[in-house]
Amino acid sequence: MIDSLYRWVDDRLNISGGSRKLLNKIFPDHWSFMLGEIALYSFVILVVTGIFLTLYFVPSQQQVIYNGVYAPLRGQHVSEAYASTINLTFQVRCGLLMRQMHHWAANIFVGSIVVHMCRIFFTGGFRRPREFNWIIGVNLLILAIFNGFLGYSLPDDLVSGTGIRIAFSILESVPLVGSYLATFLFGGNYPGTSIIPRFFIIHVLILPAIIAVLIGAHLGLLVKQKHTQFRGNGATEKNVVGAPMWPTFIAKTQGFLFLVAGVTAILGAVVQINPIWQYGPYVPYKVSYAVQPDWYMGWLDGALRLMPSWEIVFPGHMIPNAFFPGVLLPGITFTVLMLWPMIEAKVRGDTAEHHLLEEPRNNPWRTSIGAAVLSFYFVLFGASATDVLANYLEVSLNTVLVTFRYLVVIVPLVVGPVTYKICLELQHQHRPTKTKRHNIVIRSEEGGYSTIEVAPRPGDERPHLEPIPVDAMVLVDDDGQPIAAGRVAAGVGSGGNGNGSGRGIFRIPRQYR
């Protein structure tokens, strides 16, 4: 039945040629190439759980009197957004699980994008011809961070509402147009009643649509330009060695989707996240201590805390303090990130195409710069928890802040050169192979131990196999006869035009099974 269905579609759409190309796509198998898939599948989970949530969430700041099951809120004035989220938590079956899985998936989404970006950066995967994909990727990171901020601000609770107030101030701080940006986005002065509904539509429609399109472009470019790969196992600049799409990669990647979903479900089941019922509704004149944004905004919060109290004032105008850590820092960060492929090509004078990846140790200057910059943002991220750290370590808040101000300068300056040195050291190390070797351990009369390497016996080693080029092969049976009547040998690109052999999809001729 599958056969006749396939034929029906194929006769009308001519998919055999394209499908064959797709089936023969080769994916290098290294585990570090799956990091982008973590992000992709987290996005899928976000969309699925998000759709569930949109069916219950009410994006309105209209005040209502809460009358549900959670006693400490009963009779209190809260916004409909908050009330509907509490409702989702306590009264909608599976609602809390969906909320938690959605939030954990968001954390994993941004985290895996960062890890994936680091992998690309440190192995040089952004080099020609993949600059476009890098730029798309950095934009995806920005959008993911932003969408995450919008998402956790939707419930209009005390903790996230404080973040919205800070966002207003940061918008306001932009020179020339800041006050316009702020009042336009908020529909007036702070707080207004438009911000939650606007955040909602941006969060569920506008940004996910852009993210989906960008992901499509990202994957499309990956298919067109083919994946990069590490050396070894017959890989060269002119081929791709690995697992074919059909059947291996499809099975592995599908399974991986479920594994990522499983990890998210475990977290959603076992670890509580964003307990908004404990935070209460947002009220502009109320605030809590120990309030931090979600981790991917932590570096911004840390920067806001560490920034000295400078402000530029001249007659009639001002560049406020919050502008520097809130707008300038992320602006410079993402601009440099996006332009990095071009910067590196210029500095190294390397405009050649690269399809083989570098090992981080073999490009010490890039690795050490990357490590230093990463450590800078890591310190900023740590600085967002100055008060929590001061409390936990039982030291003065003042001490913690001053320490972080020093660390943010010293740590990158130390990490950079140290990483450089480590790379140089590693370059000269002998790398053990995957081949199993036997050693005989001998104990001498004096008591010392020594080893003798034994020559491998048959069966000890995994046979080293040559890669089979699926796009340029003729399959033959035991007698050397081609299995399919010459069509397979036609090589790449030729679409099938109905060979009429009447073979079924899974039928290999009986004598060859």
Q: Binding other proteins by CB under 8 A: which of 59, 280, 341, 416?
A: 280
Q: Does 444 bind other proteins (CB under 8 A)?
A: no
| Amino acid of residue 18 | G
Cβ neighbours of 366 (radius 10 Å): 20
Q: What are the two backbone dihedrals, phi and then psi, of residue 226, each rounded to the nearest 5 degrees?
A: 65, 155
Site string for other proteins, 74-103 (x = CB under 8 A): xxx------------xx--xx-xx--xx--
Q: Which ranges of 357-465 does DSSP label H, i.e. alpha helix?
A: 364-383, 386-393, 397-427
- Name the token pair of 68: 């549900």
Beta bridge partners of 157: 281
- Size of the residue set binding other proteins (CB under 8 A): 206
Q: Which stretch binds other proteins (CB under 8 A): 8-16, 205-213, 291-299, 412-420?
A: 291-299
Q: Identify the H or E element spanning 319.
A: strand 317-319
Instruction: Give the orientation angle of helix 364-383 with respect to helix 95-123, to 10 degrees.
Output: 150
C-beta closer to other proteins: residue 7 or 252: 252
Q: Which stretch binds other proteins (CB under 8 A): 131-139, 201-209, 274-282, 369-377?
A: 274-282
Work out whether the CA dihedral 483, 486, 487, 493 comes out positive or negative. positive
Q: Binding other proteins by CB under 8 A: which of 46, 73, 154, 338?
A: 73
Q: Does 33 bind other proteins (CB under 8 A)?
A: yes
Q: Binding other proteins by CB under 8 A: which of 433, 440, 444, 447?
A: 433
Q: Binding other proteins by CB under 8 A: which of 4, 309, 444, 501?
A: 309
The distance of Cα 406 from the centroid of its chain, to the nearest Å, equals 30
Q: Does 435 bind other proteins (CB under 8 A)?
A: yes
CB 240 within 8 A of CB 26: yes
Q: Does 165 bind other proteins (CB under 8 A)?
A: yes
Q: Does 319 bind other proteins (CB under 8 A)?
A: yes
Cβ neighbours of 247 (radius 10 Å): 10
Closest contact distance (angstroms) between CB of 194 and other proteins is 7
Q: Does 367 bind other proteins (CB under 8 A)?
A: no
Q: Binding other proteins by CB under 8 A: which of 1, 4, 314, 457?
A: 314
Q: Binding other proteins by CB under 8 A: which of 155, 320, 341, 412?
A: 320
C-beta closer to other proteins: residue 62 or 189: 189
Closest contact distance (angstroms) between CB of 335 and other proteins is 22
| Amino acid of residue 118 | C
Q: Binding other proteins by CB under 8 A: which of 16, 60, 87, 169?
A: 169
From the list 324, 344, 407, the residue with the least C-alpha distance to 121 is 344
Q: Does 487 bind other proteins (CB under 8 A)?
A: no
Closest contact distance (angstroms) between CB of 160 and other proteins is 9
Three-class secondary structure of residue 162 per DSSP: helix
SS (H, E, C) 78-114: EEHHHHHHHHHHHCCCCHHHHHHHHHHHHHHHHHHHH
Cα separation of 92 and 241, whole Å?
Answer: 49
Length of the chain counted residue by residue: 513
Cα separation of 211 and 150, whole Å?
Answer: 14
Q: Does 277 bind other proteins (CB under 8 A)?
A: yes
Q: Binding other proteins by CB under 8 A: which of 40, 46, 58, 240?
A: 240
Q: Binding other proteins by CB under 8 A: which of 18, 284, 417, 495?
A: 284
* Stretch 202-221 residues interacting with other proteins (CB under 8 A): none
C-beta closer to other proteins: residue 411 or 488: 488
Q: Does 428 bind other proteins (CB under 8 A)?
A: yes
Closest contact distance (angstroms) between CB of 228 and other proteins is 10
Angle, alpha carbons 316-319-325 (nearest 5°): 170
Closest contact distance (angstroms) between CB of 497 and other proteins is 20
CB 499 within 8 A of CB 507: no
Three-class secondary structure of residue 314 per DSSP: strand
Q: Does 257 bind other proteins (CB under 8 A)?
A: yes
Q: Does 342 bind other proteins (CB under 8 A)?
A: no
Place of tokens 């069509």: 487
Q: Does 371 bind other proteins (CB under 8 A)?
A: no
Q: Does 234 bind other proteins (CB under 8 A)?
A: yes
Q: Does 238 bind other proteins (CB under 8 A)?
A: yes
Closest contact distance (angstroms) between CB of 412 and other proteins is 20
In the DSSP assignment, the letter for residue 157 is B
Q: Does 512 bind other proteins (CB under 8 A)?
A: yes
C-beta closer to other proteins: residue 79 or 112: 112
From the list 225, 387, 380, 407, the residue with the least C-alpha distance to 303 is 380
Q: What are the two backbone dihedrals, phi and then psi, of residue 239, each rounded to the nearest 5 degrees?
A: -140, 175
Place of tokens 């195409």: 353
Closest contact distance (angstroms) between CB of 8 and other proteins is 28
C-beta closer to other proteins: residue 7 or 37: 37
Closest contact distance (angstroms) between CB of 5 and other proteins is 23
Residue 233 gets the label, from left (phi > 0), alpha (psi -120 to 50) or beta, of: left
* Stretch 2-31 residues interacting with other proteins (CB under 8 A): 24-26, 29-31
Cα separation of 343 and 75, whole Å?
Answer: 59
Q: Does 484 bind other proteins (CB under 8 A)?
A: no
Site string for other proteins, 140-159 (x = CB under 8 A): ------------------xx
